[in-house]
Amino acid sequence: MQLTLEFGGGLELLCDSVKSHNINVDPQDGEKQLTMKNLLSWVRTNVIKERPEMFMKGDSVRPGVLVLVNDTDWELSGQLETVLEEKDNVVFISTLHGG
């Protein structure tokens, strides 16, 4: 499944200062769907290069990191349970940097 990821608000610093990533990720064995929960653990392993604790806490994003799926607040689509589809665009923005 092809997805676009964007990191902003300082989170790009955790992945070699690259803001936009085109990725290819498939549901894990035995799973039919890819959820945000699956994606986050994939991102942590494959995209984040340093200080993963700035991005995640437990199996979710760190409080203070905003997530938008197709430009919609993930709080409206079920957060970790949000089911992703082909060509979806996922944005992560830290609110914790600077003022």
Partner 1 sequence: MEKTAKPKSRLCTLCNEKRAALKRPKTLEQICRECFYTVFEDEIHRVIVDNQLFKPGERIAIGASGGKDSTVLAYVMSELNRRHNYGLDLFLLSVDEGITGYRDDSLETVKRNEIQYGLPLKVVSYSELYGWTMDEIVKLIGLKNNCTFCGVFRRQALDRGAALLKVDKLVTGHNADDIAETVLLNILRGDIARLGRCTSIITGEDGPIPRCKPFKYTYEKEIVMYAYFKKLDYFSTECIYSPNAYRGFAREFIKHLERMRPRAILDIIKSGEDFRISTSTKMPEQGTCERCGYISSQKWCKACVLLEGLNRGLPKLGIGRSRGINSEHNANTKQANGTQSLQSKQCGSLDF
Q: Which residues would be at the binding site for partner 1 (CB under 8 A)?
A: 4, 8-10, 13, 62-64, 66, 68-73, 75-78, 82-83, 87-89, 91, 93-99
Q: How far is the CB of 72 from partner 1 (least distance, A)?
A: 4
Q: How far is the CB of 11 from partner 1 (least distance, A)?
A: 9
Nearest to 6 by CA among 93, 96, 95: 93
Backbone Cα Rg of the chain: 13
Q: How far is the CB of 68 from partner 1 (least distance, A)?
A: 7
With residue 93 as reference, give the H or E element that holds it.
strand 89-94
Indicate the DSSP class of residue 53: G
